[in-house]
Homo-oligomer: A and B are copies of this chain.
Amino acid sequence: MRLSKVFAKTTKNVPADETSRNAQLLIQAGFIHKEMAGVYAYLPLGKKVLDNVVQVVREEMDDIGGQEISLTALQAKEVWDTTGRWNDDVIDVWFKTKLAGGGELGLAPTHEEPLTNLMRQFVTSYKDLPIYAYQFQTKFRNELRAKSGLMRGREFLMKDLYSFSPDQASHDEFYERVATAYSKVFDRLGLGDVTYKTFASGGSFSKYSHEYQTVSPVGEDTIYVHEGKKLAINKEVYNDEVLADLGINKAELTEMTAVEVGNIFTLGTKFSDALKLNFTGEDGAIHPVFMGSYGIGPSRLVGLIAEHFADDKGLVWPENIAPAEVYLARLGNSEEVVKAADELYDRLTGAGTSVLYDDRDIRPGQKFGDADLMGIPHRIVLSEKTLANGNFEYKARTSSDASLLSRESLAEMLGIPGSSLL
């Protein structure tokens, strides 16, 4: 992508109406736009980061047998009345609206009810189970406060997976597969080191649920981390009984502030009972379906990753979700430099490397500043000087020193065949 064509420009001005670091940085870098508190639009580079996060999550969900669907934002009152969750005292973040011809509608803050209801059409026998269905869907939550940038939105993207199993044993087995998949997701996003599977309160059908908590000074949750066992306990269930259950000593735990980036929850038959999602078992008897729900918030993750890796110069994206792998800064406008930079851009792109090509007519300092602010992993500088020496100036975003590389070493650094740059 040529930066001269990207409309969303960087700015040095810290947005006055933002207190959260992730939103400040993402707005300054031209990745997002604030529509109102907790409601953000994604600009071209921000959209790419979000899409990359979504793709990582999608691959792991597909890998455990998830089937992708897309439910609706508009919800009818009747379905939610069956569980009592239409009531604003039970779910206190509903946005409600009205149909032109009469009738109340809500904007889905979550999707247990409509999906359980939908499954009645397809589930009659044990042979129809298990089913694992997931979606990436915009959720709407009428939060009273939304000051954390992408970390707590009124409109945000959620991956929600729901499992429909014939019994608890089958459910438990899948629950563990999701736990493993979630760990893989956070590893791939570069958050594995600081993300803990955390024991949290359960429900009628399980003593605990599990959250994935990423340690961060801006988190809203308090967790107690056991580094050796790579697990944590949420403050809400931090008591002697839980410690005994887990065979852990208080002294081994460290109190930390964290952000919930995922959760896995045993729903049991709460929703299938209310909505009458039953099946005929191998035994010939009628049973309610045993359910679980599993959430990850890709937009929250974009905010968290922005905030977690940033340094005083700006964003620092992990390579696999960066909006581009390489920032190619062309210094100077001589015919020779333009030709060489255009050629390098074409060759890198041809080798499958994504490149932000800074072909703009601005000062070198501005280009370097933007490369840092945007957080692109690899920076290559091409100028009269580097051309004269037959080499390229290279700097990793995470390094403060640039070095001069030959064509071959550059290719090696980027993990592409040397021949692709010849």
Chain A interface residues toward B at CB < 8 A: 5-9, 30, 33, 35-36, 39-44, 47, 50, 65, 67-76, 93, 95-101, 105, 107, 114, 118-119, 121-123, 128, 131, 133, 138, 140, 142-144, 154-155
Contacts and interface: CB of A to CB of B under 8 A. Distances in A.
B74 A35 contact: yes
Nearest to A361: B127
Contacts of A74: 35-36, 39, 140, 154-155
> 10 closest Cβ contacts across the A-B interface?
A42-B70, A7-B131, A44-B67, A100-B142, A95-B97, A97-B97, A41-B71, A35-B72, A100-B144, A39-B74
A122 B47 contact: no
Contacts of A30: 122
B7 A67 contact: yes
B97 A70 contact: no
Nearest to A111: B41
Contacts of A69: 41-44, 47
Q: Quickly give the copy total for this chain.
A: 2
Contacts of A119: 7
Nearest to A121: B33
Contact of A35 (B33, B76, B96): B76
A352 B119 CA distance: 31
Nearest to A124: B9
Contacts of A138: 73, 138
A100 B143 CA distance: 7
Contacts of A122: 7-9, 30
A160 to B, nearest CB: 13
A133 B47 CA distance: 12
A144 B114 contact: no
A68 B95 contact: no
A35 B113 CA distance: 11
Contacts of A9: 122
A381 B122 CA distance: 26
A39 B143 contact: no
A68 B44 contact: yes
Contacts of A70: 41-42, 47, 50
Given A95-B97, A99-B142, A100-B142, A65 B35 contact: no
Nearest to A93: B100
B40 A155 contact: no
Contact of A144 (B35, B96, B101, B143): B101
Given A7-B133, A105-B95, A138-B138, A36 B71 contact: no
A128 B5 CA distance: 9
A73 B41 contact: no
A72 B40 contact: yes
